[in-house]
Each structure stands twice: as structure tokens, then as C-alpha cells.
A and B are shown apart, each in its own frame.
Chain A
Amino acid sequence: MTPHRPARDVAIVAFAQSDHRRRTDELSEVEMVMPVLHEVLRQTGLKTSDIGFTCSGSSDYLAGRAFSFTMALDGVGAWPPISESHVEADGAWALYEAWVKLLTGEADTALVYAYGKSSPGSVRDVLSRQLDPYYLAPLWPDSVALAALQAQALVDAGHTDEPALAAIAGRSRADAAANPHAQLPGARPQGEYVVQPLRTGDCPPVGDGVAAVILAAGDRARELCARPAWIRGMDHRIEAHSLGVRDLTDSPSTRLAAERAGAFERPVDTAELHAPFTSQEVVLTRALGLDDSVRINPSGGALAANPVMAAGLVRLGEAAARIHRGASDRALAHATSGPCLQQNLVAVLEGDPRA
């Protein structure tokens, strides 16, 4: 299949995120979101009234309240009315919607933000409510349990083992030491089994956090950013809901999304993979055919900070920021949603060639 060529050049021109923390009891959602929105706007010099389209990602199940995103919306200055949309999903999918909006030419700039406040509830149980309500949800399998089934399948297939998983955890947290926003920077013990074969170190931290990016098209992007991170392609795919139908050791949806995004045309130098569990990084690197020449999750990845609903957007933002500062020329960013990598989004970002 030939990847689609976007009709218009669109780039990520700014990225900001909060410090990701175990809890933020003192802040409402909008109080948590606002400083990040101000920071991402500051980077471009834009005001909210300059933004052509705003799109956000979050989940009512984390907040425990219906329409919780409307409260956070106050932080973007939504009066007088603005062109706005929301996805009940990770902000990476909000970014996809904003990208499409810019490709249609209906807007030249977009603000995308996402937040997750996991601390009020038990995120392991909360995520179980996204499962099929007939066969799965009544059994309350939690997110770690499902990831552990996938991890054991990988071990049985000979694709990994516990020391290899520990090495992924170690590399991620070591890299996170250079990330001032990370929740778990630096080495930590692998710990006991949470659900065997996954230990504490194989699992993401539970925390609260926010991410925001600004997209701009064509010359507008060049005005706003010295080295825009051009979105060369982006695609997202889903697999069967039933876990027993899928080969849990593979991620054909990731591979297809990457192919359609043009990821395999030329090598990438960086990959920001949304793998909340060490074992999921094994699946993704295999599905994407990434080798040692690719820098994987230099930010520390979701193992160092996993604000649910924002962690995927953070991957796009981190990959873009690396292009902005010249540390990467061509990066792959991936976001996931659902149990055992059920849904996957892949974007390919490039900087202009350097003289």
C-alpha cells in the first residue's frame, strides 16, 4: 500500500507538559491544565484568540463525572465561542483530528491538549470498564492483569524474558533522569510481582499530568517555530476487541498504521513508543522492525510518566521537541489505547534538512 501524502504541510510547532506527579489533590482539572496551556502558547507568542481550532482528549471515567472536559475548557478561553472539539480518548487522537482539520484548510493553527487525573480513583479498576461488558467486564480483569497475559505470551514465544524486560525498565528510568517532568526519574528496583510475570518495575506509575501541542500549517509553522516538526504521515488502526482472537505477541495494527504513515520509507532515528508496560515495548519494536540504530523513548517513555489520556500525546510532543532542538531529523511517534495495545496511532515527524 502506498502511504497517503498529506495535501498540506502541517507541523507540531510547540509542546509543553506538566510535571507528572502521583497526585495533585490541590488542583481541579482546569487549574492543572492552565499553566501548560499558557506555556505552550508562550512558546509561539499566540493568544487563545489566535488559535483556529482547539481539540482536547480526556476521560470522564478518570474524573468520575460526566462531561468533565467542559470544566477544563474554561482554561482555553472558550467565550466568545471557539471552534472546538473533544475526544474521549488519549490526546494523540485529538491531535489526529486537529491534523485533519488543518489538512482541510479550515484552520491554519490548532491547539491540542490532554490531561489525566488518575489520582481520584483506582486506574487499574477504572480501565477495566472500557472492556466488553458481556464477557470481560463482569470479571473485572484489571489493566496490569491483561498486560501480564500478553507478557507471558511473549515469554512463551521466546521473544523476551524477565531480565530483558528489566533492562527495558532500567533504560527507560535511566533516560528519564534527564527529563525534568518525569514522575519516576532514575534507577529503581524491579520489585515484586504485581501480576506475574510483570513486576512493579515493568508497570507504569499512576499519576496526574497534562500535555499540550500547537500545530500550524505551511508558512505559519515557519513563522512560529525555528525548526518545525513536519507531520509526514499519521494513521491509526484497531484490532479485534476479544483478546482471545488476537495474537498478543504481535501488533499488526501498529505495523499497518506505520506503513500508512510512511514510517518504512526511510529509517527513523528516534521512536517515542507509548508502551506503558515493558513487555509492550517488545511487541512494538518487533512490529515496527526497530533496530539498535533507533533511539527508543529518550524521554523515559510511559514507564517514567503515564498520565492516562495524555501519555500518547506526550509521545508526539517529545518526538517533536527532539526535532525542534535538532536532536532528531526523522522521528516516529506512537500512541496506544485499550487493553494489550488494542488501538495504535503512528505519526512520522521530520525536521527540515540542515545546512
Chain B
Amino acid sequence: MTPTPASPPEILRAPLVVEFPFTRSLGPVQSAFLTGLRERTVLGVRTEAGDVLVPPVEYDPATAAELRELVEVGATGTVTTWAWNPEPRTGQPLATPFAWVLVRLDGADTALLHALDAPGPEAVRTGLRVRIRWAAERSGAITDIACFEPYESDAPAAEPQLHDGRFTDPVTGIVAPARLDYTYSPGRAQTRYLHALSERRTVGERCPSCAKVYVPPRGACPTCGIATTDQVEVGPRGTVTTYCIVNIKAKNLAIEVPYVYAHIALDGAGLALHGRIAGIPYDQVRMGLRVEPVWSEDGRYPDHYRPTGEPDAEYDTYKEML
């Protein structure tokens, strides 16, 4: 096949969303703290030096000593630093402009990060007295504090009180859902590969040094560490180099088990890609079987590969690609 110089392709882009529910268990201290929030009770933990840490941690940040002595602190406090956020972002506590604040709750020696609902930056300052605004529905999470709000009061701040940390139906775990949105662009080599697939052709790229043809191409030869340059059309036929029989049905997959998943060295390629084998009983698939791609009507890549009916390839012709 004649190599063609790889031309700069039109850049492909596609949305890529990564979403995951971060499921985490809580230790005794975090469990008590988050359960406490559900019950409108703020707990801190006392260090050996006598400081009260809010939010509490299980180990002293200075000495690494295990901390278990819980105390209840106030729902009012003082802003220790702040930053006005004119454009709230997705997931942040308030949808209207607000101040990020570190708040030292009355009775605590450290500060908690949260949002402060205020009309504008001129209404916020370090030293401002604030109180917790509780969320209407609370589940045992930091978001049970909806936000803080300014609160001037002459009432004396309460001393921290020992607390046994016991609540009925304690929260023992949290799910912190995360979602990040990306725009994926695959780069030059894979863009060329995807463009060719849309024409039902498979192209690899040849390393100018070792002449190996990579398919799918990723832009570099991992042996030589240099860019692959020339596009080479490979296939459409190929040889099964190795395979496995899948017996467990994957979630949301329509394919009936058992089926065969194989490494297929397309003719002209320097390494094998993988694909499903169909059109032959699963227990008759073998190394050396000659196959060709089968495209579904609007498929953007081969749905599967089926036998061509040719004699099997000699082992020596594909042993380097195992």
C-alpha cells in the first residue's frame, strides 16, 4: 500500500463528562461532626494542648496525636478572612454573589470554610460577627450549613461544652458526587484515524525510523520516541493473533455471552487491535483465523469481525504481534 503524507486534519472535539459518586466512610470524629450538623449541633475536637479544632479532625495536625475529645461550640462566630465571589460557580453554596469566609465559631480556635450571604462586599469585613443559617433539609453533610449570615448580638459567647458525640441514627458515610466537564480533542494522529473510520477505512501511521505501522496511531512510536508521520491504509482483513472467551455479561451490554474478544492484526499493521469475533461459534475461534470487519448501518467503527473463509494464516506471519 502506498503511504500518503499525513495532512493536517480538521480538529475533532467532543464533550467528555467525568462523573463519580465519591462514597466515603466516616471515622468516629467526622461521623459525630456531620451527624451533629444534621441535628443543628456543631462539634469540635480538643487537642492535648487544649485547642478546639472546628471542623474536627481525628489526628492533631501538629503532633499527629489521636484526638477523640468532642466539644460543642457555638453556631455564631467571627470572620477571620473573606473573599467576595461575584460569579458563583456550579455546585457552590449560593447561586447569588456571596463571600467565601473562614469563620472561627465561638469556642473554637480554628476556622471553618463556608459561604456568607451578604448584600455586597462592602457589608463584609474581617472580624464580622456571623451565625449559621441551617439548610431546611439536612442529611449529615457540610452542606447542612446552608451558609453563614451577618449576626450582631450582645449575648456572651458560650464556652465549649463536652459532648459525648452520640446521636440516634448516626451518619457513618457520605456520598460526595463530583462532575467535571471536559472538551476532548484527540490530537492529530487520532483525528486522522477517526476521519478515516468515518469512510470505513482503517489507517495506521508508520514510524520513519523502525517502519512499524501503528494502528490505531497515537502520534508516536514508543520504541523510537519519535513522531509517526506517514499514513498507511491497513486491512480491511486481518488475522486473529490471540483471543479470549467472555462468559460474564457486562452491564448495559446487549451482546449475549459467551462471545469472543480477540486481538486482530490487520493486514499491513505492525501491531494488533482488539475487536469482537462473530459469525462463527465461539468455540471454533482460533489463532490464525482470517477475519474481516462488519459495519453496522450507522456505526462509526466496525461492530465486529467475521471469518473470511480463507485458509488460516501461518503462525510465523503473526507471531511478532502476539
Q: Write the residues of chain A forming the contact surface with B, with a CB cutoff of 8 angstroms.
A: 25-31, 34, 37-38, 48, 61, 64, 71, 73-80, 119-122, 124-126, 129, 133-142, 145-146, 148-153, 156, 193, 195-198, 240-245, 248
Contact = CB atoms under 8 A, between A and B. Distances in A.
A74 B218 contact: yes
B223 A79 contact: yes
Given A28-B187, A124-B89, A77 B111 contact: no
B34 A149 contact: no
Interface stretch (B177-185, B230-238, B252-260, B274-282): B177-185
A77 B219 CA distance: 12
Given A74-B221, A139-B93, A243-B113, A134 B24 contact: yes
A99 B62 CA distance: 29
Contact of A75 (B111, B191, B220): B220
A243 B102 contact: yes
B308 interface: no
Contacts of A74: 218-222, 225
A31 B181 contact: no
Contact of A76 (B93, B104, B225): B225
B187 A134 contact: no
Interface residues of B, number: 68
Contact of B112 (A30, A149, A244): A244
Contacts of A34: 219-220, 225-227
Nearest to B187: A28
A138 B81 contact: no
Contacts of B90: 125, 140
Interface of B: 8, 11, 13, 16, 18, 22, 24, 26, 30, 34, 53-55, 57, 61-62, 80-86, 89-93, 100-102, 104, 110-115, 121, 126, 141-143, 174, 176, 178, 180-191, 218-227
10 contacts: A34-B220, A37-B225, A74-B218, A121-B182, A125-B180, A134-B174, A135-B142, A149-B102, A152-B81, A244-B112
B178 A244 contact: no
B211 to A, nearest CB: 15
A134 B301 CA distance: 42
Nearest to B219: A31
Contact of B85 (A120, A126, A145): A145
* Pairs A-B, 3 closest by C-beta atoms: A28-B187, A77-B225, A244-B111
B89 A196 contact: no
Given A27-B187, A120-B16, A156-B126, A133 B22 contact: yes
